[in-house]
Structure formats: C-alpha cells, structure tokens
Amino acid sequence: MAERNRRLVLAERPTGMVDEQTVRMEEVDAPEPGPGEALARVRYLSIDPTIRTWMDDAPGYLPPIAIDEVVRSGGIVEVVRSNSEKYKPGDLLFGFTGWQEYVVASEATGYQALPDGVAPMLALSLFGITGMTAYFGLIDVGKVKEGDVVVVSGAAGATGSTVGQIAKIKGAAKVIGIAGGPKKCAGIVDELGFDEAIDYKADDVGARLREAAPDGIDLFFDNVGGEILDACLAQLALRGRVVLCGAISGYNDRGTAKGPANYANLIIKRGRMEGFLILDYFDRLDEGRAEVAGWLAEGKIKSSEHIVEGLENAPEALNLLFTGGNTGKVIVQV
Ligand SMILES: NC(=O)c1ccc[n+]([C@@H]2O[C@H](COP(=O)([O-])OP(=O)(O)OC[C@H]3O[C@@H](n4cnc5c(N)ncnc54)[C@H](OP(=O)(O)O)[C@@H]3O)[C@@H](O)[C@H]2O)c1
C-alpha cells in the first residue's frame, strides 16, 4: 500500500510574518518512484530566511512558490525503497525536499549524498548552506585578512556566528558582533570568542561602533540590512568592504525599505559593497567543507542547532528567524 504524504502547501501569500492562513496541511498518496528513482522519507528540514522571500509574488533568484505548491525548502531525506543502483534503503541525501514527508529522489532532482562522515545536523549547519555562506562570503567575497576589524550582524544566528569564528581564525584584529539581547551578546563573546558584542535592541549602534572600532570597520558582513547597515556604512574604514549576505530586517515587508542614507561614505572611504549568493559556490563546497572540517577537528570552531520537532511546526520555526527566537541553525525534525 502506498505511503501517505503529509505536506504543507502555500495557501495564501503572507503580508508580514507567516500565520495560520499562510500554509495548509494536506495528506495525499506519496509519489511512486519510477525507474532509476527512490522513495525517500524527509527527516530534517533546513529552515532559512529566504523561504519567506519565496512566499512573496516578487522577482527573486528563484521563482516564487506558487499558491497550492508545497513550500520550498532544503532538507535531508532517508531512502525507503529504491529502483536505482545508486541509492539503497537507509542512505541519507540532501536536496530540495519541501515541507513534506516523502519525496522521489533521483539524480535528475538534484539529491546528493551528505559529506563523508558528517552527521545530519552538522550537514545542515556548519557544512550546509549557512556554514558555507559564512565561509565563502567572508573569504571569497569579503577577502578577510589578518589585522582586519570585522563587524558581523545577525551575529548569534547560524551564518553570523560562523562568520565571526572564521574571522578570528583568519587573524582578524577584532571581531564585533551585533545581535539582539544580552543573552545572545554574552554568548558570542564568552562561547564563540568574539571580541565585543553590540546589542542592537538596547544600545545606540552607531555610538557603540565608534567606541569599539574607532579607526573604522575594515569588513562588515551584513545579514540584516536597514538601520544596522546604515550605521556600519557610517563607520567604514578607508577601503572598507561591505559583504551583503542578507537583509532579514526587510523580508517581512519588502518594497517598503528605504535605501541606506550613509551610502555616500563608500565614496569618501573608497569602499566596496558587494552582494553574493551561495548558489554561485556550489561547485566549490568541498573546498569549504574540507577547511571547516579541519577547524572542527582542532576545536577551533563551534556549531549550534536549534531543533523544532514536527512538520506541522515548520511555519513557527520559520518565524523564529524573524523574532530572534533562535540561536544557531534552525532545523525541523520531521
Ligand atoms: N546570500 C546567501 O546566499 C545567503 C545564504 C544563507 C543565508 N543568507 C542570509 O543570511 C542571513 C542569516 O540567515 P540564517 O539562516 O543564518 O539565519 P539566522 O541568523 O540563524 O537567524 C536570523 C536572525 O536574524 C536576526 N534578525 C531577525 N530580524 C531582525 C531585525 N529586524 N533586525 C536585526 N536582526 C534581526 C535574529 O537575531 P537577533 O535575535 O539578533 O535579532 C535572528 O536570529 C539572512 O539574511 C539570510 O537571508 C544569505
């Protein structure tokens, strides 16, 4: 008898945070794998801020999720039965699973084995999209170098916490994290080795940046955008670099954001501001993973995951990214 597949489809486009109207739970027969394909059960979902952007009917780097379509998401699946020599029951694979319980995995649908010897949680965090975004964004786009004063926003999150640690490993003179609340700020300094933390919910960010980076910011890795980006632009050092990784402060109300008022400081400081997408680094992931594996083995880098149980709680898990209810990589255990 065919397995039943519970899945969350986009019912309505959200106007702010995702709510109970946004998605609808459906139950249908699981898809039947054809020749060369396998049926796989979804075990873990990678919860990423970009999922919220895909829910908007707006141009992006991928098409919007259609109404009644399963919500798009990366995840890890376990092969249940297989018509392919390539897959056997029990194999764990990474791919675009969507918010559902069963998928058909095949080479054509882009499923790949997890990196050798890496556990599923780490495969989604440090060795996954967020860890590799931190790695290539900081090293390849930001060109971090010894002696840099580095600032990172979203510093207690999955990407930001990794950025700060890699900056220290690469010899930054000072790493300053911007995060929300005293607990997150203490955590990035005491547990992850950041030099200073700025609590954007309590502090005057501009004033704190002038104190913490009196000679300016050499490299700002931005996950947030909005006022935090503006404050960092104002404190840029000569030839300072700004890496635009994300702009989460605007994802819930895109179209209303104002441009940064202090962008003209890029001219005065002969600065550079550059956006990037990890998609462009997919052919180099092995390189990043090999270096991160070395740091992990030497105890130089830590990863944390925030686990939410149950497919039905995926919308709530997504919202954690916007309320700041997470520390580290948000993963749904299906
Ligand atoms: N360019 C790429 O290819 C790429 C790839 C992956 C991720 N990203 C981007 O990287 C960023 C981080 O993603 P992630 O998956 O690692 O998520 P995350 O940092 O683990 O979680 C998001 C964090 O953002 C902070 N935040 C939310 N709204 C905010 C606001 N209005 N102002 C300030 N901070 C706010 C919250 O922390 P607080 O408690 O500190 O507020 C929250 O914990 C996102 O912008 C994402 O889109 C880009």
Asked if 189 and 49 sit in the same domain, the reply is: no
Q: Is the CB of 14 inside a 6 Å radius of any atom of ligand 1?
A: no
Reply yes or no on whether the pLDDT at 1 is more than 70: no
Q: How many domains does one find in the chain?
A: 2
19-59 per-position pLDDT tens digit: 999 999 999 999 999 999 999 999 999 999 999 999 999 99
Among 326, 283, 333, smallest CA distance to 308 is for: 333
- Tokens coding 210: 């002038």
> What is the average per-residue pLDDT within 11-18?
96
Which residue's alpha carbon is nearest to atom 46 within ligand 1? 246
Residues 120 and 137 reside in one and the same domain: no
What would the pLDDT profile of 222-245 be if each residue is shown by its tens digit?
999 999 999 999 999 999 999 999
Interval between CA 225 and ligand 1 midpoint (Å): 10
Q: Which of 155, 179, 149 is nearest to 240 (CA)?
A: 149
Q: What is the average pLDDT score of the chain? A: 96
Residue written as token pair 């149980």:
309
What DSSP assignment string belongs to 88-157?
-TT-EEEEE--SBSEEEE-TTTT-EEPPTT--HHHHHTTTSHHHHHHHHIIIIIS---TT-EEEEESTTB
Asked whether residue 90 falls in the same domain as residue 148, the answer is no
Contacts of 68 (CB under 8 A, 6+ apart): 9, 10, 11
The answer, yes or no, to whether any atom of ligand 1 lies below 6 A from the CB of 159, is: yes
Question: Is the domain of 137 the same as that of 120?
Answer: no
Give the pLDDT confidence of 118-155 residue by residue, as tens digits.
999 999 999 999 999 999 999 999 999 999 999 999 99
Residue 109's pLDDT is: 83
- Give the CATH number, domain containing residue 10: 3.90.180.10
Residues 155, 80 share a domain: no
Residues 153 and 275 occupy one common structural domain: yes
Residue 290 in any domain: the answer is no
pLDDT at 173 over 80: yes
Mean pLDDT of the region 273-282:
97
Does one domain contain both 137 and 116?
no
Give the residue numbers spanning the domain of 209.
129-279
Cβ of 132 below 6 Å from ligand 1: no
Where does the chain have alpha helices with state H? 50-54, 120-124, 129-136, 158-169, 182-190, 205-212, 226-234, 265-268, 285-297, 314-323
Inter-helix orientation angle 285-297/129-136, to 10°: 100
Q: Which atom of ligand 1 is nearest to the CA of 49?
A: 47
Q: Is the pTM of this model over 0.85?
A: yes
Side chain identity at 181, as an amino acid letter? G
Is-contact 155 197, C-beta < 8 A?
yes
